[in-house]
Chains A and B, each alone.
Chain A
Amino acid sequence: MAEKNELRPSKISEFFGSDTFKGLLPFIGLVVILGIMYWLTEGRIMQPKRLRLLLSQVYYPMIVATGVFFVMTLGSIDFTEGSTLGVASIVVSVLSFYSIPLAVLGGILTGAAIGAVNGFFHVRFRLQSFIVTICTMYLFRGVCAYLTTETAIPASAEIKALDSDNLKIAITLGVLIIAFFLFKFTRIGNDVKAVGSGETAARFSGVRTDRVKFLAFVAAGALTGLAAFVNVIKVGSITSTAGNQLETQILISLVLGGLPITGGAKVRFSNIVVGTLMYTVLNNGLVMLGFESATQQLIKGIVFLIFVALTIDRKALKVIK
C-alpha cells in the first residue's frame, strides 16, 4: 500500500516530462491562448467577421511554414522567407500582366532559385545554414528594395480579381495535403528526419544527405514563391516592405507549434498547422485588445521564450546546422 502512494506523484511528474505530454502541449497552448483571447475580448474574437479576417491571415504563412518545416526538420534554419516573398511577389506582379499561370510559375521558380542559392552555399561550402541565410536575406531584401525604390509595383487587375477565400483555401489545403503525404508516406520524410537526428549516421545508412539538404532549401524557396502568388492576390501591389519579418513569424509559429529547433525524429506535421493558428490568434488578439505594436512584440517575445523553454529537447541539444 505504502509503495503505491509513493508511486503516484512520480507517475504524474513522469507524465509531465514525457514525450506524449510534450506532443500535446502545442494543442493545449492553442486552446489556452484562444480561451484567454476569447475572455479578454469578451468573445469578439470568435465573431464570424473576425474569424474570416483571422483566416485570411493564415494562408500564406501556412504555405511558407510548410516549406520551412522541412528545413527545420533537418535541424537547419532559413531566414530568407521574408525577402524571398518580396522578390517573388515582384516577379508575380510583373508577370501577371502577361498570363496568370506564367505568374504562378514565375513566383515558384524565383523562390526555388533563391532556395537553391541557399542550399548550394550550405551544402557545397559546408556553411551553417543560419549564416548563409542571414547573408542571403540581406542580399534579396536589397534586391527587393532596389526594385521598389521609385514606386510600388502594381499587379494586374486579373490577378486581383482572383481574390477569394475558396481559391486560397484550396491552395493552402493542397500544399498541406501533398506535403503531409510526402512527409509521412515516402522516403523524403524519413530522410529529412534522419538527417536531423544524426547526419553522419544517416549518411552511413545510405541517405544522400547533401541532396536531401539541398532539396529541402529549394522546396522552402519554391513554397515561399507560391505563397507570394497568394500574397499578391491579397495585397495587389508590392512595396519594399513586402514580407518584412516573415522569417521570424514563421520561426516563432513553428516553435509554438511544438517543432523542436534541433529538428529530427520528434517533429510532427501538426506543428505547422497548430503553430500558424496559434501565432495568428495571438497576433489578432493583441491587435484587438488595442496594444501598441511595441507592446505586442514584447508579449510575443515572452510567449515565445516560455514555449521554447517548455518544449525544447534538452537531450538532443546541439548547434543548429
Chain B
Amino acid sequence: MEKGKILLNAEHIDKRFGITHAVNDVSLTVSAGEIRALIGENGSGKSTFCQMLCGIYTIGGGTFTLDGQEVHVKNQVEANKLGVSIIVQEMGTLSGLTVAENIFLGHEDPFMHNGIKDTRAMIKEGQRLLDEYGFSGIRAGSMIDSYNFEDRKLVEIVKATYMKPKILIVDETTTALSQNGRLELYKIMDAVRADGRSVIFISHDLNEILTHCDTISILRDGEYIDTVNAKEIDEDGLKRLMVGREIGSAYYRTDYGKAISPEVVLSVKDVTVPNQIYDVSFELHRGEILGFGGLSECGMHEVGKAVFGASLDRKGTVTLADGTQINDIPTAIHHSIAYASKDRDNESIILNESIRNNIVLPSLDDLAENHILKAGKLNRFAQEFADKMQTKMQGIHQFISDLSGGNKQKVVLARWLGKGSDILVLDSPTRGIDVKVKQAIYALMQELTAQGKSIIMISEEIPELLGMSDRILIMKDGKINGEFMRSESLSEEDLIAKMV
C-alpha cells in the first residue's frame, strides 16, 4: 500500500444514546502507514467512534470511507473482511472454546470440508501463528480458560492481526498487559506501520502515546478537537487539549520526608492463599499510603482481598489494632475497612442497580432506625456523597451501568466515604480513568490520610506508586520481595528490579 495516502476518511460521524450525544459530528482522516492515537477523557466518545467503524454499534450518522470505498459495517466478521479489526478493552475471547477456535472465530471457512470442521488443521495453523508471533507458550489446542487474562489478550492480538487488517484498532488494551506483553504489542504495531497499514490506538497513558504514536487526535465530550503531531507536543499540551483548560502537571504528591506514624492500625501475619500468595506479613500504619506493586500475576491483588476478608481458603491472620480478627467481608466492613476492586464492574459495583442503592448498600445497618429504612434518608445520604465526589450523573436513581468508568469509580469511593471507613484498600484505583478524575482521586487520598485514615494502594502503574505512596512493598511470585520508603531518589528501575 502506498504510504501517506488517505486510508480512512470519517465524515460527520454521529451517535446518540438516549439523551447522551456520545459522538458529535466527528470528521477525521487516517493515512496509510500511520499510528494514530485517539485520546480524550472517559466518555469523550473515542471507543464509541471506533466501535461504529468495526460494526459493534450501528453508525448514527455520517460515513466511513475505507480505502476509497464507503463502508457500513454490520458486524465484526464483516469488518474483518473489509480489513478492520479491533482489540477491545474488555475480555474479547470466548470461554469454552480452544485457543485456535477463538483465533479463527467467524473465519472457519478455510478449515471446513463439506460442512465438517478439520480441527487438527485449525490447531496446526493456530499454533503456527502463535509461534510466528513468539507466543509459543500458548498452545492452540488448549482451552482458552486455562490461560490468564494477559495470555488471553495475546490470543486476541493474534486474532485481530493475523489476517493483516488495513486498520487495526487497539482499544485500551495495554492496561491489561504487563511490560512484556506491551512490548510485544508495540512490535506488532510497528510492523503494521512498516507494512503501510494503519493503527488506531486508544490509551490513557500519555507517555506511552507520545513514545509509540505518530499523530494524536483529541476528542472532548464527543466532539473532535484537533489532530497533532506527536513530535511537536508534550504531556501537558495534550492534557490541556483533552480537558480544555490548564491542568497542573504535578497531580501526584509533592511532599517528601513525612514521618510515618508508629501507630499500627492493621497487621497481617503469615497470610497464605493457595496458588496466590504465601506467608505475606506486613503492618499498616495510621495515616500512611502503603503501595503494593509487582507484575500483574504477583499476588498483590489477592492481598487486597485477603485484608478485606474476601479470600476463599485463606490461612494466617488479619488483625486490627483493637484485636479484632478479620475473616469475612461483613466483619471487615463493620470494622471500617473499605475495598475498591480492580474488577470494578463485577466486584465493586452492582451494575444493574441505581447509583443510590450502590452507595447506601454497605451503610444500610447504620442508616436503619430500629431496623427500618426510610427512602428520604437513603436519598439524602446517597445525594450527599455522590455530590461530594462530584459524580457526573442525571440523578441518584440513574442506573450505574450508564456511567463512564471514572464516574463509576467515584460512586465506589462515595459509598466508602459515606461508610466513613478508616482503612481503605484501593486496588488499581485509577485503572482506565482519565486525568481529571485521576487528579480528584489522588487529592481525595491525600485528604483522607491527613484525617488519619490509612490506605493500601495496589497498583500496576509504577509512576503512581512512586508518586503517591509513603512506603512501597513489591511482590514477586506471591511473596513480598522488597520494601521502599518514599524518596525523591527512588526510581522506576529500583522497583522493577524487585518485580522481575
Partner-B contacts on A (CB < 8 A)? 14, 185-187, 190, 193-194, 197-198, 200-208, 264-266, 313, 315-316
A186 and B372 contact, CB distance less than 8 A = yes
By a CB distance below 8 angstroms, the chain B residues around A315 are 352, 401
A313 to B353, CA, bound (A): 13
B351 interface hit (Cβ, 8 Å): yes
Q: Distance in Å from the Cβ of B350 to the closest Cβ of chain A?
A: 4
By a CB distance below 8 angstroms, the chain A residues around B360 are 190
Pick from B332, B334, B361: contact of A190, CB below 8 A.
B361
B385 interface hit (Cβ, 8 Å): no
Q: Distance in Å from the Cβ of A31 to the closest Cβ of chain B?
A: 27
A265 and B354 contact, CB distance less than 8 A = yes
A197 and B352 contact, CB distance less than 8 A = yes
What does the 1/0 interface line of B427-447 toward A look like (CB < 8 Å)? 000000000000000000000
By a CB distance below 8 angstroms, the chain A residues around B399 are 265
- Say whether, besides A201-B348, A204-B310, A206-B333, A194 and B353 are in contact (CB < 8 Å): yes
Pick from A190, A194, A204: contact of B341, CB below 8 A.
A204
Pick from A185, A187, A205: contact of B350, CB below 8 A.
A205
Pick from A190, A200, A266, A313: contact of B364, CB below 8 A.
A190
7 closest cross-chain pairs (CB), A and B: A198-B350, A206-B333, A197-B352, A205-B361, A201-B350, A197-B350, A197-B353
B192 interface hit (Cβ, 8 Å): no
**Closest partner residue, chain B, to A318 (CB atom):** B352
What does the 1/0 interface line of B219-240 toward A look like (CB < 8 Å)? 0000000000000000000000
A193 and B347 contact, CB distance less than 8 A = no
A-B contact count (CB 8 A): 81
B329 and A194 contact, CB distance less than 8 A = no
Q: Distance in Å from the Cβ of A23 to the closest Cβ of chain B?
A: 13
B352 and A316 contact, CB distance less than 8 A = yes
B350 and A202 contact, CB distance less than 8 A = yes
Pick from A185, A194, A316: contact of B361, CB below 8 A.
A194
A192 to B310, CA, bound (A): 20
**Closest partner residue, chain B, to A198 (CB atom):** B350
B245 interface hit (Cβ, 8 Å): no
Q: Distance in Å from the Cβ of B324 to the closest Cβ of chain A?
A: 15
A265 and B352 contact, CB distance less than 8 A = yes
- Say whether, besides A202-B361, A205-B361, A206-B361, A186 and B353 are in contact (CB < 8 Å): no
Partner-A contacts on B (CB < 8 A)? 18, 308, 310, 329-330, 332-334, 339, 341, 346-354, 357-358, 360-362, 364-365, 368, 371-374, 399, 401, 415
**Closest partner residue, chain A, to B349 (CB atom):** A201
Pick from B348, B364, B415: contact of A187, CB below 8 A.
B364
A194 to B364, CA, bound (A): 12
**Closest partner residue, chain A, to B305 (CB atom):** A204
A214 to B331, CA, bound (A): 20
A215 to B341, CA, bound (A): 28
**Closest partner residue, chain B, to A266 (CB atom):** B352
A187 to B369, CA, bound (A): 11
A200 and B352 contact, CB distance less than 8 A = no
A198 and B357 contact, CB distance less than 8 A = no
A187 to B367, CA, bound (A): 10
Q: Distance in Å from the Cβ of A3 to the closest Cβ of chain B?
A: 13
7 contacts across the A-B interface (CB closer than 8 A): A186-B371, A187-B368, A197-B353, A203-B329, A205-B361, A206-B330, A208-B330
Main DSSP-derived SS at the A contact region: helix
By a CB distance below 8 angstroms, the chain A residues around B333 are 205-206
Pick from A186, A193, A203, A316: contact of B357, CB below 8 A.
A193
Q: Distance in Å from the Cβ of A193 to the closest Cβ of chain B?
A: 7
Among A187, A200, A204, A207, the one with the most B-chain Cβ atoms within 10 Å of its Cβ is A204
B362 and A205 contact, CB distance less than 8 A = yes
- Say whether, besides A187-B373, A193-B357, A206 and B352 are in contact (CB < 8 Å): no
Pick from B348, B353, B371, B372: contact of A204, CB below 8 A.
B348
- Extra 15 A-B pairs, beta carbons < 8 Å, given A185-B372, A185-B373, A205-B415: A185-B374, A186-B372, A187-B365, A187-B373, A190-B357, A194-B353, A194-B361, A197-B351, A198-B346, A198-B350, A201-B351, A202-B361, A204-B339, A205-B362, A265-B357
**Closest partner residue, chain A, to B308 (CB atom):** A204
A190 and B373 contact, CB distance less than 8 A = yes
Q: Distance in Å from the Cβ of A154 to the closest Cβ of chain B?
A: 43
By a CB distance below 8 angstroms, the chain A residues around B341 are 204
A194 and B350 contact, CB distance less than 8 A = yes
A198 and B353 contact, CB distance less than 8 A = yes
**Closest partner residue, chain B, to A201 (CB atom):** B350
Q: Distance in Å from the Cβ of B13 to the closest Cβ of chain A?
A: 19
By a CB distance below 8 angstroms, the chain B residues around A190 are 357, 360-361, 364, 373
By a CB distance below 8 angstroms, the chain A residues around B330 are 206, 208
By a CB distance below 8 angstroms, the chain A residues around B352 are 197-198, 264-266, 313, 315-316
By a CB distance below 8 angstroms, the chain A residues around B350 are 194, 197-198, 201-202, 205, 265
By a CB distance below 8 angstroms, the chain A residues around B329 are 203-204, 206
A206 and B347 contact, CB distance less than 8 A = no
By a CB distance below 8 angstroms, the chain A residues around B415 are 205
**Closest partner residue, chain A, to B365 (CB atom):** A187
Q: Distance in Å from the Cβ of A319 to the closest Cβ of chain B?
A: 13
Q: Distance in Å from the Cβ of B11 to the closest Cβ of chain A?
A: 21
- Say whether, besides A185-B372, A194-B361, A14 and B348 are in contact (CB < 8 Å): no
Q: Distance in Å from the Cβ of B343 to the closest Cβ of chain A?
A: 9
Among A200, A205, A208, the one with the most B-chain Cβ atoms within 10 Å of its Cβ is A205
Q: Distance in Å from the Cβ of B376 to the closest Cβ of chain A?
A: 12
By a CB distance below 8 angstroms, the chain A residues around B368 are 186-187
- Say whether, besides A186-B373, A197-B352, A204 and B357 are in contact (CB < 8 Å): no
B346 and A201 contact, CB distance less than 8 A = yes
A190 to B350, CA, bound (A): 12
By a CB distance below 8 angstroms, the chain A residues around B365 are 187
Q: Distance in Å from the Cβ of A208 to the closest Cβ of chain B?
A: 6
**Closest partner residue, chain B, to A14 (CB atom):** B18
**Closest partner residue, chain A, to B372 (CB atom):** A185
Q: Distance in Å from the Cβ of B374 to the closest Cβ of chain A?
A: 7
**Closest partner residue, chain A, to B347 (CB atom):** A204
A160 to B361, CA, bound (A): 47
Among B332, B349, B360, the one with the most A-chain Cβ atoms within 10 Å of its Cβ is B349
A200 to B344, CA, bound (A): 11
A194 and B373 contact, CB distance less than 8 A = no
By a CB distance below 8 angstroms, the chain A residues around B364 are 187, 190
A197 to B399, CA, bound (A): 11
B339 and A193 contact, CB distance less than 8 A = no
A14 to B16, CA, bound (A): 13
Q: Distance in Å from the Cβ of A318 to the closest Cβ of chain B?
A: 10
Q: Distance in Å from the Cβ of A226 to the closest Cβ of chain B?
A: 23
By a CB distance below 8 angstroms, the chain A residues around B334 are 206
Q: Distance in Å from the Cβ of A108 to the closest Cβ of chain B?
A: 22
By a CB distance below 8 angstroms, the chain B residues around A316 are 352
By a CB distance below 8 angstroms, the chain B residues around A14 are 18
Q: Distance in Å from the Cβ of A19 to the closest Cβ of chain B?
A: 9
A161 to B373, CA, bound (A): 41
**Closest partner residue, chain A, to B374 (CB atom):** A185
Q: Distance in Å from the Cβ of A237 to the closest Cβ of chain B?
A: 42
